[in-house]
Amino acid sequence: MAFFGFGAKQAIRAPPEIKGRIRGPKLEVLVEGARGATFLEALELANGQKRVIASNKRLDGVLVGMESYNGPTEKYPCGLTVSDSYLLPGPEYRELKSALGYSDSCWSGTMCAYAEPGKKMGKRILSVDSETGQRHVFPVPQEYWKVRNGILVIEHPNYALVQDGRDLIVVSWRESDVNLLNGFPGENWRCLPDEGYGIPLGRKEPHTNLDARVAQRKWKGTCVAPVQRRGSDREYLDFNPKWNKKASVIVEMPEQIFDEAS
C-alpha cells in the first residue's frame, strides 16, 4: 500500500482501493444527527461500506442551494440600513433534514490543513487537539513548503489516516490529490467561495453578499481537520472542528439503485 507521506507505519480506517466506491449525483444520510459519529467513526463506517462522504461543496448545495430571499430594506433614523435577506436551502434539504436539522452539525469529506496567518507551510502542518492531546499531521508537498496564507485540500476517499506514534497522519494515495488554494483568510471573514471546493478565499465581503461564505478558522493557529457544516448558520464553514465530537454523516448515492434480482 503506497502513500504520499512520511513515517507512516500503521494505516487505520484506510480502504485498500478507491475503485468500487458507490458514487453518484444524489445524497443520502448515513448517520443521522440524533445519533452522530466522531470523524474517525464516520471514516470507518463510510470506508467499510465503500461509500464516499459528501464534500463541502456538495453539502453547500444542500444547505444553501441556488436561491435566496431578498425582502424589503428599511432605513432607520440613525442611518442603519437593515435588509431582510437570507439563504434558502437546496432541493435535497427535505430528504436530508435528519442530518442537517437546525441543531445538527455534519462532517464533510473535505480534509484541509493551514498554517498560521503569514507563516510558511513548511514540510508538514501539525495541530494538537486540546481535549485529547492527539496530534494531527498533514505532510506538505515540497512545491508548497514556502507558501503563505494558503490552504491544502484533499477529498474523501483520496486519503487515509495513519497512526505513527503520537501522530495521526493524513496521507494521500497520490500526491496529485493534494491541492493548494491561495488567499485563505487569516480571520473569520466572509469571502466568496472558490469554484472547485466551495472554500472562502480572497477579500472580505459585506454581510449583504449572500454568495459569500464565512470561514471559521483556528484563531492565529495551524489546523488539520475536515470541514464541518451546520444546519443552523448555513453559510458558515467550520475549519476547526473537534474530531471527537459527534456529528451527522451524508454520503453520495447513485441516481437509481437497481435490485440484483431485476
Contact 112, 239 (CB under 8 A): yes
Distance CA 167, CA 178 (A): 19
Distance CA 74, CA 82 (A): 5
pLDDT tens for the 262 residues of the chain, in order: 344 554 444 554 544 456 789 999 999 999 999 999 999 999 999 999 999 999 999 999 998 864 444 444 444 455 444 444 456 677 788 889 888 887 789 999 999 999 999 999 999 999 999 888 999 999 999 999 999 999 999 999 999 999 999 999 999 988 899 999 999 999 999 999 999 999 999 999 998 898 999 999 998 899 999 999 998 888 999 999 999 999 999 999 998 654 444 3
pTM of the model: 0.86
Contact 187, 203 (CB under 8 A): no
Half-sphere exposure (CA, 13 Å, Cβ side) for 159?
29
In this prediction, residue 1 carries a pLDDT of 39
Contact 149, 183 (CB under 8 A): yes
In this prediction, residue 224 carries a pLDDT of 98
Distances (CA, A) of 90 to 29, 46, 61, 83, 226: 15, 24, 6, 22, 22
Q: 179 in helix, strand or coil?
A: strand
DSSP 58-108: HHHHHHTTT-EEEEEEEE-TTS-EEEEEEE---TTTTTTTTTSSTT-EEEE
Contact 248, 231 (CB under 8 A): no
Looking at residue 47, what DSSP letter applies? Answer: H
* Cell 481537520, residue located: 225
In this prediction, residue 11 carries a pLDDT of 52
Q: Which residues contact 202 (CB under 8 A, 6 or more apart)?
A: 183, 185, 191, 192
Domain ranges of the chain: 22-66+80-253
Which residues, listed in sequence order, are joined to residue 229 by a DSSP beta bridge? 106, 237
In this prediction, residue 86 carries a pLDDT of 53
Taking alpha carbons only, the member of 61, 131, 52 closest to residue 96 is 61
Contact 248, 107 (CB under 8 A): yes
